Amino acid sequence: MQPDTPTVDDRQGIIDAAYGCLFEPHSGPIPVAAILDRAGLSTRAFYRHFSSKDELFLAMLQQEADALTARLDRVADETSADPVQQLTEWVEAMFVLARDPQLRMHLTVIDSDEVRAAKGYRETRERLHADRERSLQRILQRGRDDGTFPLTKPGPDAVAISAIVSRELTISGPGTEEDLERSRARVLDFALRALGALVAP
pLDDT tens sequence across 75-115? 999 988 899 999 999 999 998 877 788 888 888 899 899 99
Domain locations along the chain:
1-50, 53-195
Give the whole-angstrom CA distance, residue 47 versus residue 171.
38
The DSSP line for 5-41 is ---HHHHHHHHHHHHHHHHS--SSPPPHHHHHHHHT-
| DSSP helix/strand/coil, 100 | coil
DSSP 8-state code for residue 111? T
Instruction: Indicate the pLDDT class of residue 1, thresholds 50, 70 and 90.
Output: very low
Full-model pTM: 0.83
Cα 37 from chain centroid (whole Å):
28
Give the whole-angstrom CA distance, residue 8 versus residue 59.
13
The reported pLDDT for the residue numbered 47 is: 95
The reported pLDDT for the residue numbered 5 is: 54
Q: Which helix (H) or strand (E) holds 178?
A: helix 177-195
Give the CATH architecture of domain 1-50: Orthogonal Bundle (1.10)
Task: Give the ranges where 24-153 is alpha helix by DSSP (H).
Answer: 32-39, 43-49, 53-77, 83-99, 101-110, 113-116, 121-146
Give the CATH architecture of domain 53-195: Orthogonal Bundle (1.10)
